[in-house]
Amino acid sequence: MIQFTKMHGLGNDFMVVDGVTQNVFFSPDQIRRLADRNFGIGFDQLLLVEPPYDPDLDFHYQIFNADGGEVEQCGNGARCFARFVRNKGLINKYKIRVSTSSGKMTLRLERDGNVTVNMGVPVTEPGKIPFRAKRPEKTYLLQTPKQTFLCGAISMGNPHCVLEVDNVDTADVEEIGQMLTKHERFPKGVNVGFMQVVDRGHIKLRVYERGAAETLACGTGACAAVAIGILQNKLDRQVKVDLPGGRLTINWEGEGKPLWMTGPAEHVFDGQIQL
Ligand SMILES: N[C@H](CCC[C@H](N)C(=O)O)C(=O)O
């Protein structure tokens, strides 16, 4: 039997597994079955917590989308990871050093129950997103057989493109998200953000996620949208991001500097399952 914990960050939900005290492996097919909301547990991503690879870290963790693919980074997942290892007594510190396949991060459990994450330095170099373009631009033209889209492109460890829309509530997230998430210029696929700028300190955002479709919230998507908005000189350096599942606060001082995200992480239930 495998012990697991169901958690969410603003409705972006996770199956979290302690791979430190349990010896577990999940095949892509097993992940897809577990992610199924009718025949399985149901989640957007699976987080597998492991011992650190590096003496100056506390843990490593792997992130898998509902489609079974492993990915580099997950913002809401990082906050839930921090709450999980603390709740399970795997650590008794409030400041946690962790690595994912995209690199090292520092997480801080706040006294008010929120978690603050140093999400690292956003990357605009196209080859590192990865995105096919000659040089970094504030906006790019993405052509599809049906229409051409103006977007920003950036990596938070995982790839994001962000379109500005007048009203997130009426944006065609499903159709455009499906069109762009596998666009040929993003060789590893891409998370597609739909950003409505309310004012220079406030945006509304919906995200069609690579490997999971639209989610109620996307932490790296919120970081990507704010970074692109700041680079396009539409936003100031502290921004409230309202997603369908709730609010995140993002702080970024600009190119070359780390970006900070603060938000909640909720425990839902503990369970066990026989694979
Ligand atoms: N779908 C994303 C991974 C999860 C990101 C999201 N849940 C977050 O909170 O950042 C990707 O394929 O890169």
* pLDDT recorded at residue 60: 98
Atom in ligand 1 nearest the alpha carbon of residue 77: 9
* pLDDT recorded at residue 47: 98
* pLDDT recorded at residue 30: 98
Query: What does the alpha-carbon distance between residue 220 and residue 52 come to, in Å, rounded to a whole number?
Result: 22
* pLDDT recorded at residue 53: 94
Ligand 1 centre and the CA of 210: distance in Å? Answer: 7
Q: What is the pLDDT along the chain (275 residues), one digit of tens a residue?
A: 999 999 999 999 999 999 999 999 999 999 999 999 999 999 999 999 999 999 999 999 999 999 999 999 999 999 999 999 999 999 999 999 999 999 999 999 999 999 999 999 999 999 999 999 999 999 999 999 999 999 999 999 999 999 999 999 999 999 999 999 999 999 999 999 999 999 999 999 999 999 999 999 999 999 999 999 999 999 999 999 999 999 999 999 999 999 999 999 999 999 999 98
Q: How many CB atoms lie within 10 A of CB 199?
A: 11
Atom in ligand 1 nearest the alpha carbon of residue 215: 7
Residue carrying structure tokens 């987080």: 47
Q: How many CB atoms lie within 10 A of CB 135?
A: 7
* pLDDT recorded at residue 67: 97
Query: What does the alpha-carbon distance between residue 32 and residue 34 come to, in Å, rounded to a whole number?
Result: 6
Query: What does the alpha-carbon distance between residue 161 and residue 141 come to, in Å, rounded to a whole number?
Result: 11
**Nearest protein Cα to ligand 1, atom 3:** 74
Q: How many CB atoms lie within 10 A of CB 253?
A: 12
* pLDDT recorded at residue 150: 98
* pLDDT recorded at residue 275: 85
Q: Would residue 71 be called left, alpha or beta, if left means φ above 0 and alpha means ψ between -120 and 50 degrees?
A: beta
Bridge pairing between strands 59-65 and 115-118? unpaired
* pLDDT recorded at residue 17: 98
74 given a catalytic annotation: yes
Q: Report yes or no on whether pTM surpasses 0.95.
A: yes
ipTM of the complex: 0.97
80 given a catalytic annotation: no
User: Annotation-wise, does 118 bind a ligand?
Assistant: no
